[in-house]
């Protein structure tokens, strides 16, 4: 096979970018692959709206079945988990290889979709589902294939990183930063998918599943977003030498694994702490490779198109060499045990407790921590001029188990000297 | 094919690392690939010296022909450009796929070696030749295959980066930092390959050739090392807001390309400026992906082993699926014109000129720069207490062509007020 017909389903931003790049870089792609990748069909409900791209009129159609029937490679770019799932399963059942950027769908139904691809002996690739501007899925699956993966830390959501950057650099409140992100098109009108951590959870589920060879159920992944991060937390973190980021985390713990999403405090001066604005960063530690870090754009038309076309090229090469399933979309290694419940993880913790400024406060709190065998690494009470108001005490603990800190917090929260909800942020020292 | 016999030639540090990892991670590798990668033979002149690894005694041999004959995949790890070349060509002529970490050999004889592989329809992979701890070759060749590459900046030599880090952070002289690097095993007793930039040149030649589809002759690449960087340059750079690194640079300029190796001043606060110690960093800008950055260990037994085994796995998959040449080791795109001579590049420049402290000095120098149409961006003369000594003037220029700055420098150097050799460092703003 010297040419492959590409059929795109979904003519939105990414679909437009993929079509443009296939046309614009066609001679480079042909030189590199020895193949013509022909933009054969694009299906969308709306094929009238101008997208700023000139296409042969035979390319556009509202009939997605036509795309499925006539194309050699199916590119699913409509998003969502209902119609997209049906389309992908249908394409796979027709034996057609699929490229998708649909992280929510894969995180939730990866097992079913991968099983369909395996049964039909065809491929489904999804580089664009995590950090389009970073070739991390290929790196994890192939470049690091020799490695036992120890841990993955990722800044995987550009919206949250943009908001945290605005808060840290321009002292904007969470609400103002979110509003600005919405104005710039970084955040949706209904921003929950991003700011409550679900999008990060979908992505870390995909990376962790690949790394540990067990498709993880996102419902079992502890997921906490950035709504509770206040400007004062960012300031105190800075004073303590830390930056606050939203991380997706996957770690090996003996033979089990932990996967979680929550804000973290990481040391200033690390590369991760300097990844700002809407950019993504992913740190992977493996044996024997050591630590390796990837940085780039997380989303957007251009970066995502690059990832989608990389997959199209990989599949085209498989078609040319009749080597489908050469790199399975997912292999169930079964090398690791269970996904640990959140109570079993260990971490250092930052606690911000607003208390009445009176004698004995610190003693009461530290007694409760001591009973749960939690040792204090540092404690700061900032001076305040407003004597009538509660004062914030910030405590940084040594490493302890989540269950211990939660038990202690529950008790501290009920103390009469404690005002407001205690804020807890986990600390990752990135060692 | 459900198993592949791996034959290693060269039982040094990397050979030992590859053998250990093949044994240690064998079950993970088998799960991921569905194949047994069997460590079949290791050839070395010395098979007696203990390497701290337990091997079946049938594995070790001094007969490299036995390895070539009996193995399915040949791993060349002896280094050098003479015997290694013969071994690789022989293996390819036998139709055997090859994995190598030999950057000097590929930079110098890539064309001949790749032609031999193409002729025999077999593969030669070389991920470990550039930044072992970063899967950059696979990323450039596959993950970024859709992209027109605009530029590549790389900190590609751990020894130089270690020395520059010591100088910047601990105010060590170049000589002291080099000595420390030698004590730690980062630098050879004869350090020229590293500190004069040749190793970086080999690596940027490989990356640039892949990116631009033209195998570049390293003899035509401007190569300047770090011997002329003084502590005062590092201090002045810092005052101006810059950090000094040794870069390999490849850039598209219209339809031609430039490839060069020299120290650069890059803005503080960029991720590249924060890549310290013996680590490597590679920034690639492409269309449509935008900028993407990779960070990791450049060398060492463990990181290099990871890269070698990734290639072994790729080749094993090709053997299993009879898909040799699925991804050619190198494709001659012929998409770009000539390698521009150094005189044609444009840059901003930092100049440190030691002058007699007398009236009219700055006028004389700026007149010469003006005649070559070089515009001054900033000029600093630091106060000095030692009035009898020459004083340093630091000039930062706006962008100009290399031929212009060189012409001006030649004239300035002959001024009677100028002492010592003028030091020039190119500035890359990383935009």
Answer yes or no: do A333 and B32 touch at CB < 8 A.
yes
Q: Give B-chain residues touching A274 at CB under 8 angstroms.
A: 269, 271, 274
Q: Which residue of A has its CA nearest to B307?
A: A143
Its pTM stands at 0.96
The end-to-end CA distance of chain A, in Å, is: 48
Pairing assessment for the beta strands B279-287 and B256-267 based on DSSP bridges: unpaired
User: What span, in angstroms and rounded, lies between the C-alpha atoms of B203 and B218?
Assistant: 10
Q: Which member of A25, A288, A306 has the closest CB to residue B303?
A: A288
Query: A100-112 in b/e burial notation, b at 16+ Cβ within 10 A?
Result: bbbbbbbbbbbbe
Catalytic residue among A41, A85, A151, A203: A203
* CATH fourth-level superfamily of A136-296: Dihydrodipicolinate Reductase; domain 2 (3.30.360.10)
Q: Which residue has the tokens 């599943």?
A: A209
pLDDT of residue A334: 73
Higher pLDDT, A255 or B365: B365
Q: Whole-angstrom Cα distance, residue A139 to residue A135? A: 6
Q: Which CATH superfamily is domain A342-427 in?
A: ACT domain (3.30.70.260)
Tell me yes or no: is domain B3-132+301-320 CATH 3.40.50.720.
yes
pLDDT recorded at residue A330: 92
DSSP assignment, residue B95? Answer: T
Q: How far apart are CA A244 and CA A263, in angstroms?
A: 7
Across the interface, whether the CB atoms of B301 and A323 are under 8 A apart is answered: no
> B371-419 pLDDT, tens per residue?
999 999 999 987 766 667 899 999 999 999 999 999 999 999 999 999 9
Name the pLDDT band for A387 (thresholds 50, 70, 90): low
Q: Which pLDDT belongs to residue B168?
A: 97
CATH 3.40.50.720 positions along chain A are: 3-132+301-320
- Report whether B293 contacts B270 (CB < 8 A): no
Q: Is the predicted pLDDT of residue B11 greater than 80, yes or no?
A: yes
Question: pLDDT class for A374, splitting at 50, 70, 90?
Answer: very high
Q: Do B143 and A310 touch (CB under 8 A)?
A: yes
pLDDT 10s digits, B179-231: 999 999 999 999 999 999 999 999 999 999 999 998 999 999 999 999 999 99
CA A204 vs CA A17, A197, A212: distances in Å: 25, 10, 12
Residue contact A288–B296, C-beta within 8 A = no
Asked whether the beta carbons of residue A303 and residue B313 sit closer than 8 angstroms, the reply is no
pLDDT digits (tens, 9 = 90+) for A137-171: 999 999 999 999 999 999 999 999 999 999 999 99
DSSP class per residue in B149-178: EEEEEEE--HHHHHHHHHHHHH---HHHHH
| pLDDT on residue B424 | 98
If you measure CA to CA, which chain A residue comes closest to B320? A326
pLDDT at residue number B338: 83
Looking at residue B336, what is its pLDDT?
79
pLDDT tens-place string over residues B119-142? 999 999 999 999 999 999 999 999
Pick the more confident residue, A200 or A336. A200
- List the single residue in B with minimal CA-CA distance to A304: B289
Mean pLDDT across the stretch A69-79? 97
Rounded (10°) CA dihedral A156, A158, A160, A162: 140
CATH number for the domain running over B343-427: 3.30.70.260
Closest-CA residue of B relative to A271 is B271
- Give yes or no for a contact between B252 and B337, defined as CB atoms under 8 angstroms apart: no
Nearest-Cα distance to chain A for B323, in Å, is: 6
User: Tokens representing A322?
Assistant: 């009749």
What 3-state class would DSSP assign to B387? Answer: coil
Residues of B in contact with A295 (CB under 8 A): 271, 292-295
pLDDT of residue B386: 67
- Matching residue, tokens 């696979």: B138
Average pLDDT value over all residues in chain A:
95
Residue range(s) in chain B whose domain bears CATH number 3.30.70.260:
343-427
Q: How far is B388 from chain A (nearest CA, A)?
A: 41
**Predicted confidence (pLDDT) at residue B51 exceeds the cutoff of 90:** yes
Do B294 and A292 touch, CB atoms closer than 8 A?
yes
Supply the pLDDT for residue A386. Answer: 67
Check B85, B203, B245, B297 and give the catalytic one: B203
Percent of chain A with pLDDT over 90: 91
- Is B410 tagged catalytic? no
- Domain span(s) for CATH 3.30.360.10 in chain B: 136-297
Of B20, B145, B334, the CB nearest to A313: B145
Q: Which of the two residues, A300 and A108, has the higher pLDDT score?
A: A108
How far, in Å, CA of A202 to CA of A8, rounded?
23
- pLDDT tens, position by position, B87-105: 999 999 999 999 999 999 9
The Cα A314–Cα B72 span in angstroms is 24
Q: What is the pLDDT of residue B5?
A: 98
Q: Which residues of A touch B146 (CB under 8 A)?
A: 21, 25, 29, 305-306, 309-310, 312-313
Contact A61, A73 (CB under 8 A): no
User: Where are the domain boundaries for CATH 3.30.70.260 in chain A?
Assistant: 342-427
Peptide bond between residue B288 and the one before it cis (omega within 30 degrees of 0): yes
Q: Residues A237, A258: contact at Cβ < 8 Å?
A: no
Q: pLDDT (tens digit, 9 = 90+) per residue, B247-300?
A: 999 999 988 999 999 999 999 999 999 999 999 999 999 999 999 999 999 888
Contact B296 A296 (CB under 8 A): no
Residues in chain A: 431
Note the pLDDT tens digit of each residue in A320-366: 999 999 999 998 877 777 899 999 999 999 999 999 988 899 999 99
Per-residue pLDDT, B214? 87
CA angle A234, A238, A241 (to 5 degrees): 140
Contacts of A146 in chain B (CB under 8 A): 21, 25, 29, 305-306, 309-310, 312-313
Round to whole Å and give the CA distance between B109 and B261: 19
Asked if B318 and B96 touch (Cβ cutoff 8 Å), the reply is no
Alpha carbons A250 and A259: distance in angstroms, whole number: 4
- Class at the top of the CATH hierarchy for domain B136-297: alpha beta
């Amino acid at each position: 096979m010297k040419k492959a017909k590409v059929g795109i389903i979904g003519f939105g931003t990414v679909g437009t970018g993929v079509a443009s790049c296939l046309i614009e870089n066609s001679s480079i792609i042909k030189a590199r692959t020895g193949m013509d990748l022909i933009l054969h069909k694009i299906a969308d409900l709306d094929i009238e709206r101008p997208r700023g791209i000139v296409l042969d009129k035979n390319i556009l159609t509202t009939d997605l079945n036509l795309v499925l029937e006539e194309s050699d490679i199916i590119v699913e770019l409509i998003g969502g988990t209902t119609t997209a799932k049906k389309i992908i399963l249908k394409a796979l059942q027709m034996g057609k290889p699929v490229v998708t950027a649909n992280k929510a769908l894969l995180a939730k139904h990866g097992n079913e979709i991968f099983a369909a691809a395996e049964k039909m002996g065809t491929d489904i690739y999804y580089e664009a589902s995590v950090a389009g501007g970073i070739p991390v899925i290929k790196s994890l699956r192939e470049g690091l294939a020799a490695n036992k993966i120890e841990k993955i830390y990722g800044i995987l959501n550009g919206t949250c990183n943009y908001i945290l950057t605005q808060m840290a650099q321009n002292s904007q409140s969470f609400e103002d930063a979110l509003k600005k992100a919405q104005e710039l098109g970084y955040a949706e009108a209904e921003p929950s998918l991003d700011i409550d951590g679900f999008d990060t959870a979908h992505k870390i589920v995909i990376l962790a599943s690949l790394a540990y060879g067990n498709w993880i159920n996102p419902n079992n992944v502890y997921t906490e977003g950035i709504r509770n991060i206040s400007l004062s937390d960012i300031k105190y973190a800075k004073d303590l030498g830390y930056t606050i980021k939203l991380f997706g985390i996957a770690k090996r713990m003996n033979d089990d694994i932990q996967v979680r999403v929550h804000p973290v405090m990481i040391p200033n001066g690390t590369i991760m702490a300097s990844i700002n604005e809407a950019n993504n960063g992913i740190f992977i530690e493996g044996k024997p490779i050591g630590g390796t870090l990837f940085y780039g754009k997380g989303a957007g038309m251009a970066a995502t198109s690059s990832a989608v076309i990389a997959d199209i090229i990989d599949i085209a090469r498989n078609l040319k060499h009749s080597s489908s399933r050469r790199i399975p979309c997912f292999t169930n290694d079964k090398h690791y045990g269970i996904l640990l419940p959140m109570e079993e993880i260990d971490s250092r913790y930052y606690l911000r407790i607003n208390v009445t400024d009176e004698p004995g406060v610190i003693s009461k709190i530290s007694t409760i921590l001591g009973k749960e065998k939690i040792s204090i690494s540092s404690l700061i009470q900032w001076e305040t001029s407003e004597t009538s108001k509660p004062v914030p005490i910030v405590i940084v603990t040594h490493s302890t188990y989540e269950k211990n800190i939660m038990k202690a917090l529950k008790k501290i929260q009920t103390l009469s000297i404690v005002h407001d909800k205690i804020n807890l942020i986990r600390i990752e020292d990135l060692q």
